[in-house]
Structure 1
Amino acid sequence: MPVLLNRVVAWLREGYPTGVPAQDYVALLALLRRRLTDEEVAAIATELADEGMLPADGTDIAVSITKVTDEVPSEADVERVQEHLAFRGFPGADQT
């Protein structure tokens, strides 16, 4: 198993030695939701700039994230890309 997966399984076993109660499944899945890496945030911002899609709004960013991850992005990941773009000097769609 990959190291990260081993750590997650060990954490679950420590916290739930007799198994996870059914009412805790949703909460645990929310904690384990995928998050964009710093490299993915930078790549998405670069792609938006290269494609001439700046200023980008939240929807543009969410679509780009979905292309990379094949998942619906979290609001936190959309905000991270917006912050990365702002740091690089690109205004958001609402700041033009």
Structure 2
Amino acid sequence: MKALPPLLSNIIEWLRAGYPQGVPETDYIPLIALLRRRLSDEEVREITAALVDQGDLPIGKPDIQVMIAKVTDEKPLDADVDRVHAHLVAGGWALPDETPIDESH
């Protein structure tokens, strides 16, 4: 796997901190929706591929494109996005669109 740019690596670290046991299936789509607020589809693909490769997102690579298409075609429920947002904030992690991510790491 190729090395990710610092911003994407920092987002992966942020996600791991928010989901230390991995991302539950019910949070995949809302999480991608949150990421797409600040990232391009290609960046979201890179992040999800890295999470799959490293076992943090227990799906297959073909499923990544399906998930991104679902977010593009069918907006996730606000309640689901709010639940994921609250989960990450409760863990002490501001979302990327709320606080700039430090790219210096």
Structure 2 length-normalised TM: 0.38
- Normalized per residue, which structure has more helix? 1
The structure with higher relative contact order (CA 8 Å, sep 6+) is 2
Who wins on radius of gyration, i.e. which is larger?
A: 1
